[in-house]
Structure 1
Amino acid sequence: MHKLSRALPLLGLLALAGCSSTGTAVNQPVNTVAAPVVSAPALTGPSPAQQVAAAQTATMVDAYVDPAVLPMMSAKERADASSAQFYALQFGRPGAPRTWSGSGSSGSITVGPYVRVNNLDCRDFTNTVTVAGKPYVRKGTACREVNGTWSVASVAG
């Protein structure tokens, strides 16, 4: 009996601990305030794919090939040569040629390693266009401008 009298107060406390009081206002509306919506800033400007396309378009082949061969190339061949030139300068491994082929002409572009000149990335290039079996070669150095385009800095010989 003595043990039971000591356990009763503890059992009473445990029983009360399981109860909760919500007060008298059971059906009161709950005040909610909508959290402010935080969105990421809108990205402005062209996407990376659009930037590459714009830089590729601006890297026209006219400055990279022998001027004597330009009249012999179709518009599609010029576009193919321009694309090959851009990708060779932008992504090409030094010494690994990037080739293109058209209906009447074909070509290859070989680039050297990157060199830093006046805070610009520059590369030597050798552009060979072959028309009717005759190669037209132009060598020079091209530098990547701040806007991503490549421009001829110098032409050898």
Structure 2
Amino acid sequence: MNRSTLFALPLFALALAGCSSTATTQMASAPVVVQQPQPVVAQPMVPTSAQTVQTARLTTSIANGFVDASALNQMTAKDSNEANSAQFYALQFGRPGAPRQWAGDKGTTGSVAVGPYVRVNNLDCRDFTHTVKIGGTDFVKKGTACREQNGNWNVVNGAA
């Protein structure tokens, strides 16, 4: 085949395609039925583990023996909130020996270090050390906390 044949062949095919019939056909269509959406009935929800954890965090308080009482008297609301959060997350999720740091108002800082989980009377327990630094002074509280059935952590043995 020569070049002109190779070039003309596709043009010839296009020309033949243009000669096809363009008549339209009519089709019968069925009526369209629109259904109303059904109402959703709300069922009581079972709290997820994340919701249970959030509830437990809010009810675990450093005022219950997690922080030295002398430091607690000098801490602001923000200091307490940060310390509560660090204490809970260290106990709940922390790796043994890896302290969780926190920072509050006016240079107040702290850290919470935990030990491994131990099982006592069917409860998960951990040793902890919570250090609070206020104005250059370190306040250290060591103890053991256990997680109750409701998810709250409570100090069962604390020393200054």
The CA RMSD measured in Å over matched residues stands at 1.5
Query: For 1:1-150, what aligned pairs fall within 5 Å after superposition?
Result: 42-62=43-63, 63-104=65-106, 105-150=108-153
Aligned 8 A contact 2:125 2:144 in 1 = yes
User: Is 1:155 the counterpart of 2:145 in the alignment?
Assistant: no
Amino acid at match of 2:72: L
CA offsets 1:83-138 (integer angstroms, 9 cap, x no match): 00000000000000000001231100000000000000000000000000100000
Between 47-56 and 86-95, the greater mean CA deviation after superposition: 47-56
Runs of 4 or more, structure 1, over 6 Å off, are none
TM-score, length-scaled by structure 2: 0.69
Partner SS, residue 69 of structure 1: helix
Partner SS, residue 90 of structure 1: helix
Partner SS, residue 78 of structure 1: helix
Amino acid at match of 1:84: A
Tell me how far 1:43 sits from its aligned partner. Answer: 5.0
Distance in 2 (CA, whole Å) between partners of 1:86 and 1:135 is: 20
Amino acid at match of 1:90: Q
Tell me how far 1:76 sits from its aligned partner. Answer: 1.0
Gaps of 5+ in 1: 1-41
Amino acid at match of 1:115: V
Partner SS, residue 96 of structure 1: coil
Count of residue correspondences: 117
Distance in 2 (CA, whole Å) between partners of 1:61 and 1:150 is: 10
Gaps of 5+ in 2: 1-42
Aligned 8 A contact 2:78 2:105 in 1 = no
TM-score, length-scaled by structure 1: 0.70
CA offsets 1:12-55 (integer angstroms, 9 cap, x no match): xxxxxxxxxxxxxxxxxxxxxxxxxxxxxx45343333211110
Equivalent residue, structure 2, for 1:14: none
